[in-house]
Amino acid sequence: MGYEHTNSKGIKYYLNSTVGKNGRSLFFFSKEPKQPIDLPEGYSIIESPLTKLPLLKKK
């Protein structure tokens, strides 16, 4: 199972990854695990103060 994050509202999100059209990895959060991955090295999780959605931030 990949990385899970529960936001301040108690909703669980899963970190997923896919390959974009340019060949680069795209990271995104979803409520269902689609292609779950562990938290990549050099990244941290922050929460948007407005929407309470988790965001991946490079350290």
What is the reported pLDDT for 41? 94
What is the reported pLDDT for 1? 75
Between CA 33 and CA 18 the distance in angstroms is 12
Between CA 47 and CA 50 the distance in angstroms is 9
pLDDT of 21-33, one tens digit each?
Answer: 999 999 999 999 9
Below-50 pLDDT ranges, the chain: none
Between CA 34 and CA 48 the distance in angstroms is 22
Give pTM, 2 decimals.
0.88
